[in-house]
Amino acid sequence: MSEPLRLGIVGLGRAFMLMLPTLAHHPLVRLVAAADPREEARWQFESDFSRADAPARSYDNVEELCADDGVEALYIASPHQFHVAHVRLAATYGKHVLVEKPMALTIADCQAMIEAADAAGVHLLVGHSHSYDAPYLKASELIRSGRFGRARMITASNHTDFLYRPRRPEELDTAQGGGVVFSQGAHQVDIARLLGGGLVSTVRATTGRFDPARPTEGAYQALLVFAEGASATLTYSGYGRYDSDEQLGWIGEMGQRRDPESYGMARRGLVGVSTPEEEAALKNTRTYGVAKNSVAPLSAALGHNHFGPITVCCEQADLRPLASGVMVYADDRRWLEALPAPTVPRAEVVDELYAAIRSGIAPLHSGAWGMATLEVCLAILESARTGREIALQHQVAPG
């Protein structure tokens, strides 16, 4: 039963790079094939993942990868706008799918993906999102145990330099899925939904576009009201000023040690970049097949991944998920529900995919779950645009 999943990769770009430490080192997965238009990425993939008895395959088109009989499941990490076509293709060939967030840019596309997977009888998971991170899963488990009463008020904020990391032009265009609501809201909303019971009734939100040179949402605030009485306030800013990792002992999103003295680094990295083409080229220097040491040995992580400071007020305790576990603040004492340090980062993604495919355990991060999170993100944009509270209709509870 511990035969590793034979995984194929659609898109050897930045999302793949971020999942590479997981996919290269998790014992329950083996990378066997990939598709990407860039020759240097394909060459690198074959070089990194071929074994003496089993060469890794690479393709310059996705359908050939989908047709590969040695592939059981596909990790679809192509640009957002291709997700729906690639999920359909994968399902047609009977492959299970892990599709990157945001799942898609419209509810109709999400529905098409879910229908394609259902019709083919394959599993469809959405992720990585930070709601896979062990501390949030642990907090959710504590809430669902009933020990502390119902979760009632979630306060989540995250202040990062997201908007000043090197971007391709479409990442700064909301119509093409750019901006922080699609890319970062997908994390924060996913976590809030996990902790608040999943079923968001209404969304009221504002968005901020503070920099005319990067004309997409760089910030948002939202109040989510849940069907079962919980609520959540969300604040996100990607403008690279106050950094909320300060509140978390300078442990970063990936569980790594941050340098408190590296203020303003993202903006400085863009000094001298004067055209969108130059910026895209700068981004490409960090992509697979170009950056050095794409598959590095694992170093001991300081802690789990996280997505900023989050406090959950339950009826009988407050919970604070941290990189080391979950702090529980009860009436008479507080304690850390410690989690073992991660050996493989983001192992939870592969664990959930593996459990679905090998053991038939319904995944938390199903297509329906991902669609519900996208619905909240779209409602944030709509509420900000119209100045109204938006009622939702595609919400699902955690499985």
- Which residues contribute to the site for its own copies (CB under 8 A)? 149, 152-153, 155, 157, 159, 202, 204-206, 208, 210, 219, 221-223, 225, 229, 231-235, 237, 239-243, 247, 263-264, 267-268, 311, 313, 315-318, 320, 327, 329-334, 387-389
Provide the minimum distance between the beta carbon of 379 and its own copies in the complex, in angstroms, as a whole number. 13
- Please, which residue, 264 or 399, has the CB nearer to its own copies? 264
Residue whose tokens read 């990490």: 77
Provide the minimum distance between the beta carbon of 305 and its own copies in the complex, in angstroms, as a whole number. 21
- Please, which residue, 344 or 384, has the CB nearer to its own copies? 384
**Distance, CA of 306 to CA of 323 (rounded, Å):** 6
Q: Record the tokens describing residue 169, joined without a space.
A: 């032009």
Strand 310-314 with 151-159, pairing: antiparallel
**How distant, in Å, are the alpha carbons of 252, 260, 309, 311 from that of 247?**
11, 11, 7, 12
- Please, which residue, 68 or 161, has the CB nearer to its own copies? 161
- Please, which residue, 228 or 277, has the CB nearer to its own copies? 228
- Report yes or no: 337 and 326 within 8 Å, Cβ to Cβ: yes
Provide the minimum distance between the beta carbon of 120 and its own copies in the complex, in angstroms, as a whole number. 41
- Please, which residue, 251 or 317, has the CB nearer to its own copies? 317
- Please, which residue, 199 or 298, has the CB nearer to its own copies? 199
Task: Starting at the earlier edge strand, list the strands of the sheet with 5-10.
Answer: 57-59, 29-35, 5-10, 73-76, 96-99, 124-126
CB-CB neighbours of 239 under 10 Å: 21
- Please, which residue, 41 or 313, has the CB nearer to its own copies? 313
Provide the minimum distance between the beta carbon of 282 and its own copies in the complex, in angstroms, as a whole number. 18
Provide the minimum distance between the beta carbon of 235 and its own copies in the complex, in angstroms, as a whole number. 4
- Please, which residue, 267 or 394, has the CB nearer to its own copies? 267
Provide the minimum distance between the beta carbon of 187 and its own copies in the complex, in angstroms, as a whole number. 17
Helices (H), the chain: 14-25, 39-49, 62-67, 83-92, 107-120, 134-144, 180-183, 185-196, 265-269, 276-284, 347-359, 367-386
Provide the minimum distance between the beta carbon of 259 and its own copies in the complex, in angstroms, as a whole number. 14
Provide the minimum distance between the beta carbon of 150 and its own copies in the complex, in angstroms, as a whole number. 9
Provide the minimum distance between the beta carbon of 153 and its own copies in the complex, in angstroms, as a whole number. 5
Strand 318-322 with 310-314, pairing: antiparallel
| Residue 128: HSE in the Cβ half-sphere, 13 Å Cα cutoff | 25
- Report yes or no: 97 and 87 within 8 Å, Cβ to Cβ: yes
For the four alpha carbons of 360, 102, 49 and 34, in that order, the dihedral sign comes to positive
- Please, which residue, 43 or 263, has the CB nearer to its own copies? 263
SS3 state at 391: strand
Provide the minimum distance between the beta carbon of 265 and its own copies in the complex, in angstroms, as a whole number. 10
3-6 CB contacts, 8 Å cutoff, 24+ apart: 3/358, 4/28, 4/29, 4/30, 5/29, 5/30, 5/72, 5/73, 5/350, 5/353, 5/354, 5/357, 5/358, 6/30, 6/32, 6/70, 6/71, 6/72, 6/73
Strand-pairing partners, residue 59, are: 35
- Please, which residue, 25 or 204, has the CB nearer to its own copies? 204
Q: Record the tokens describing residue 22, joined without a space.
A: 């997981």
